[in-house]
């Protein structure tokens, strides 16, 4: 699957997610993004 296809599928699912779940999902994604940045920094320091 390409990045564009994945984003399209995510958008389709987001359109069906109840409103009360959207904030939790947004918080989860933001935390995952932070962790990805931290892991990248750790990996770069190891080079």
DSSP the chain: --HHHHHHHHHHHHTTS-HHHHHHHHHHHHHHHHHHHHHHHHHHHT-
Contact criterion met (CB below 8 Å) for 34 and 26: no
- Write down the pLDDT at residue 40: 78
Query: For the chain (length 47 residues), average pLDDT per consecutive 10?
Result: 96 95 94 87 78
- State if pTM tops 0.85: no
- Write down the pLDDT at residue 11: 96
Contact criterion met (CB below 8 Å) for 17 and 25: yes
């Amino acid at each position: 699957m390409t990045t564009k296809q994945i984003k399209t599928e995510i958008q389709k699912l987001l359109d069906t997610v109840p409103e009360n779940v959207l904030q939790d999902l947004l918080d989860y994604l933001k935390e995952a993004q932070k962790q990805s940045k931290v892991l990248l920094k750790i990996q770069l320091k190891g080079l």
